[in-house]
Amino acid sequence: MVKDVFDQPGVEDMKAGFKEIVKYRNANNTGPVQRIYVVTVKDSVWKEMEDYGNLMPHTKYGNTKVYFFMENTNIPKILAPGEVNFDPQYNKSCIALFEKSAMSQVAFNKHPF
């Protein structure tokens, strides 16, 4: 049983080559917490991207977004809270968006823009 606890698959076991580039978390600990991540991948393994999103921290009544970009493409370095999280000039480079909203409702969209 102890072996099972320490032998769970994680990001290191995935083949897509995930690399977190930038993240944002609002400072509001009494209300909805908003987490935003920009992650690059070496390969567009859609299932692994969704799995990666599910591994990211999430707070009940909060929102977690993970934007995926191919490695060596034009990616945002600055994130902002709200509906639009980075400069729209990067939209074309975004290959997927994982979002877990309030009450843990999950959405995974390929080419969201």
| pTM of full prediction above 0.75 | yes
Is residue 68 within 8 A of residue 49, CB to CB? The reply is yes
Domain that holds residue 29: 2-110
Q: Token digits for 22? A: 């930038």
The residues, any chain, with a CB within 8 Å of residue 97's CB and separated by 6 or more, are: 65, 66, 67, 68, 107, 108, 109, 112
Spatial strand order in the sheet of 63-70: 19-25, 34-41, 63-70, 94-100, 106-110
Alpha-carbon span 46 to 22, nearest angstrom: 21
- The total number of structural domains that make up the chain: 1
pLDDT digits 0-9 by tens, 38-81: 999 998 889 999 999 999 988 878 899 999 999 999 999 999 99
- Say what the pLDDT of residue 104 is: 81
